[in-house]
Amino acid sequence: MSAGLDGEEDRSAAERKKEARRVYRERNAERISAGKRAWRERNQEHIRACRAAYDAEHREEMLAQKREYSRRDTARKAAERRRKESRKVSSKKYYQAHKAEHREYTRQWQARKRAEDPEAYRAMRAKAQRRWWETHKDEYNAKLRAQHRENPEPKRAQARAYYAAHSEELKAKKRAYYAANREKVLAGNRAWKEREKRRVAAGLPPRRIRTTPAAERRANTAAADAFFARARTPEEIAAMRRKPGPAVDELQGTPPELVAAFERDSKRTRIEHALATDGSLASRQLLAEARRHLAAQERAARREQRDAVENARLDAIGKQVNDQLRHRDPPRRRHHLDPDPAAPHPMLNPNTTMGMNR
């Protein structure tokens, strides 16, 4: 019985300690978080080393977990795509089968909302239209451009009618714009004139852009299709093969000097055009020259450093070789009759006047 009471008391004490820890964490959550952050900042190297050791020890297990997660995620995304496609197909089938009912329900809903609150209904419609325009404006503009290319006359007639009805207003706007942007307009005019002068000086025709009408485009397309899709008979093919071609001697190529002159003039024209139209080209050229000069200096410094290191290495090798191969005379013992240790030995002097050498 006492053992059971002791067990109950131990469990009660553990529960009280657990509750006290929970209350302490709740009351001191900020201080605990700050302490943890400070500890992590102080022990970043230790944390990094522990993570690297754990990754190295459990590498295969982690790779297996990643592969399993990737497999489950891929399967989940594929299932979600299948569900979306299935819902889309079923919704489309249902709409096709109940199109009239859906439109009638939409009209009734719009009429009810308009009757309940006209201002809110107009705001909702404007928001929906703005959202649709932001999503489909590129597609809608491309559709309008295609319609204008196919049949530009309605838009031109509309523009003429609008100009006839608002000519004074448009002229006033044009004058106001010119007064506010006079320098910009004059700069554009000067640039256009200079461009046309360069074009004429280079022998090019004036730049004239003409939009091909839709009827002409269709006629050209039909003619091209008829020409390239035409089936030749064997007799026509044989006749074309029998037709003599020009002799090789008659075929004269363009002289090399003319080709070189054409390429040189073309490069000069392109450079002049770039210098005239691109104001940042000079700054880019200066920047490129500065970069090339800096790179040359860096290469020269690296070359000098490598030469210095190589010369030091060769000097060390030469010194080591000289120390090993240089012949040194043994130290000479002092003669008992020689008062000066640095004086030459008398027997080593070949110019003596005594003995056989007289």
Stronger pLDDT, 290 or 42, i.e. the higher one: 42
If you search the block for the tokens 């399967």, which residue do you land on? Answer: 75
State what percent of residues in the chain have pLDDT above 90.
Answer: 35
pLDDT bin (cut points 50, 70, 90) of residue 283 is low
pLDDT of 3 above 60: no
If you search the block for the tokens 């649709």, which residue do you land on? Answer: 132
Contact at 8 Å (CB) between 82 and 90? no
pLDDT of 205 above 80: no
Q: Read off the pLDDT of residues 37-70 as tens digits, 9 standing for 90 and up.
A: 999 999 999 899 988 888 888 888 888 999 999 9
If you search the block for the tokens 């107009």, which residue do you land on? Answer: 122
pLDDT bin (cut points 50, 70, 90) of residue 275 is low
User: Considering Cα of 52, then 54, then 57, then 60, what sign does the dihedral take?
Assistant: negative
Residue 357: the pLDDT is 45
% helix, strand, coil for the chain, step of 5: 80, 0, 20
Query: What distance in Å separates the CA atoms of residue 156 and residue 291, rounded to the nearest whole number?
Result: 54
| Structure-block tokens of residue 74 | 């891929």
| Highest-pLDDT range among 5-14, 279-288, 330-339, 347-356 | 5-14
Region label for 355, one of left (φ > 0), alpha (ψ between -120 and 50) or beta (otherwise): left
Residue 358: the pLDDT is 43
Query: What distance in Å separates the CA atoms of residue 50 and residue 142, rounded to the nearest whole number?
Result: 59
Contact at 8 Å (CB) between 273 and 198? yes
pLDDT bin (cut points 50, 70, 90) of residue 103 is very high
| Structure-block tokens of residue 271 | 């450079």
Query: What distance in Å separates the CA atoms of residue 356 and residue 349, rounded to the nearest whole number?
Result: 13
pLDDT of 74 above 80: yes
Query: What distance in Å separates the CA atoms of residue 271 and residue 198, rounded to the nearest whole number?
Result: 12
CA nearest to 136, candidates 144, 125, 146 = 144
DSSP code for 353: S
CA nearest to 191, candidates 282, 281, 277 = 277
